[in-house]
Amino acid sequence: MIKVAIMGYGTVGSGVYEVIRTNEKSIDKKVGQKLRIKYVLDLREFPDDPVMEVLTHDFEDIINDEEVRIVAEVMGGLHPAYEFTKRCLETGKSVCTSNKELVAEYGAELIQIAKDHQVNYLFEASVGGGIPIIRPLNSSLTADVILEVSGILNGTTNYMLTKMDREGLEYLDVLKEAQDKGYAELHPEADVEGWDACRKIAILTSLASGNQVDYRDIYTEGITKITSEDFLYAKKLNRSVKLLAISRKVGDTYCAMVSPALVHREHPLYVVNDVFNAVFVKGNMLGNSMFYGSGAGKLPTASAVAGDMVDAARHLGKIITLFWDPEKLELAPVEQMNRRFFIRVKSDAEPEKLFGDGERIHAGISGEIGFITPVMTEAEYAEKAKDAQIISMIRVEG
Ligand code: HSE
């Protein structure tokens, strides 16, 4: 029998408990022996919840128990999750996590510590919730050079943008609704400012390149400035606004960015709505491939954590190789990225004079017009935009 522990009994932690208890028989079959929860660590009490039978408030109970071979870290945040994870790995316990902040910040180091102690640090749930994407990148697509890994990586903002598109609502109204429904946090900055998607694309780029990507190096723009007027233009263009996280191979490195983008109706990411996520992967041999599913939520995320625990149980004493070295990858400057830009300017402006031949769009908004520039680099756009008295800009995808 393999004994496991869960650190954190919040949304994901209670989900992991539920997945393991509900699917006990089939999990045992897949592991080849019984897998049972010995501890759940949380500071709170949960009266009338069966979890009380295994609840502990003391991390030392887990660390000092040699029977515990696998630990799910679903506490979130950097501290004490980092210290707890490190001590678990150093004492020969594999750790499975959904904690993207921790993976983005300390992934390479924790993978190395795991390796040094013949255990595994697994993090399928850290990107795309329940969508299998870490494992495919790490094991199925290893014969390919990854040319691009991009997608919609944040469920909360995708839900909000879908609502704005379908119902013509303003940003603050959909934010309130998302908060009422429990999708968005009371302090929603991590989602709406793009920080969550930034950490996730940093993790994916680290795996695609095999080196540590510092998420602080990734240009990140959130959705807080998107308005209902932007969607009027988007509709005229047969497009919608999505928060895209993009990472493309440039020479020996990658260029990565998170920002809202106008996505055409025929683009595969256009149909990714509500809290769903999708990750698009382009390999030099594979061509295009897309991974789609529930990007957030209790059970989808818990399913990925529990799946990692099964994998860890099947590999006790063996290392699952991960290609993620601590050596830092210097990203290509985002200024080199090429694309078209959608701008809103006053109706008497002459954007062609600054930007060259483009496409004018009228969405029936008095006093202004929309304009799509020709393809240019971010640097060229920034230079020309200085004199253009732009009301707002959204990047154009494809
Ligand atoms: N806040 C995240 C999201 C949760 O909305 O996608 C899943 O990582």
Q: Is 154 in the pocket of ligand 1 (CB under 6 A)?
A: yes
Ligand 1 centroid to Cα of residue 96, in Å, is: 18
Ligand 1 centroid to Cα of residue 73, in Å, is: 16
Indicate the CATH number of 145-294 among 3.30.360.10, 3.30.1490.190, 3.40.50.12780, 3.50.4.10. Answer: 3.30.360.10
| Domain 337-397 belongs in CATH node 3.30.70.2040 | yes
Query: Using an 8 Å Cβ cutoff, are 359 and 233 in contact?
Result: no
Q: Whose CA is nearest to atom 4 of ligand 1?
A: 296
Choice from 12, 154, 179, 273 to test ligand 1 binding pocket (greatest atom count within 8 A of CB) = 154
The catalytic residue positions are 200
Examine residue 80 and say whether the peptide bond preceding it is cis (omega within 30 degrees of 0): yes
> What is the spatial order of strands in the sheet that 121-122 belongs to?
55-56, 35-41, 2-7, 68-73, 94-97, 121-122
Q: Is 194 in the pocket of ligand 1 (CB under 6 A)?
A: no
Q: What is the mean pLDDT of each run of 10 residues along the chain (398 residues)?
A: 98 97 98 98 97 98 98 97 98 98 97 98 96 95 96 97 98 95 88 98 98 98 98 98 98 98 96 97 97 93 97 98 95 96 97 97 97 98 95 96
Ligand 1 centroid to Cα of residue 193, in Å, is: 12
Q: Is 396 in the pocket of ligand 1 (CB under 6 A)?
A: no
Model confidence pLDDT, tens digit, residues 131-170: 999 999 999 999 999 999 999 999 999 999 999 999 999 9
Ligand 1 centroid to Cα of residue 292, in Å, is: 15
Ligand 1 centroid to Cα of residue 68, in Å, is: 29
Per-domain boundaries in the chain: 2-129+298-328, 145-294, 337-397
Q: Whose CA is nearest to atom 7 of ligand 1?
A: 296
User: CA–CA separation, 339 vs 333, rounded Å?
Assistant: 14
Q: Is 211 in the pocket of ligand 1 (CB under 6 A)?
A: no
Architecture of domain 2-129+298-328: 3-Layer(aba) Sandwich (3.40)
Whole-number pLDDT of residue 77? 95
Q: Is 295 in the pocket of ligand 1 (CB under 6 A)?
A: yes
User: CA–CA separation, 137 vs 297, rounded Å?
Assistant: 22
Please identify, by atom number, the ligand 1 atom nearest to the C-alpha of residue 185. Answer: 1
Q: Is 155 in the pocket of ligand 1 (CB under 6 A)?
A: yes
User: CA–CA separation, 32 vs 30, rounded Å?
Assistant: 5
Whole-number pLDDT of residue 44? 97
Whole-number pLDDT of residue 296? 86
CA distances from 390 to 24, 230, 341, 343, 345 (A): 58, 13, 11, 7, 5
Q: What is the pTM of this model?
A: 0.97
Q: Whose CA is nearest to atom 8 of ligand 1?
A: 296
Rounded to the nearest 10 degrees, the angle between the axes of helix 24-31 and helix 298-314 is: 30
Ligand 1 centroid to Cα of residue 53, in Å, is: 30
In this structure, which amino acid lies at residue 54? V
Please identify, by atom number, the ligand 1 atom nearest to the C-alpha of residue 100. Answer: 8
Choice from 160, 193, 196, 274 to test ligand 1 binding pocket (greatest atom count within 8 A of CB) = 196
CA distances from 81 to 94, 115, 151, 190, 206 (A): 14, 19, 27, 18, 21
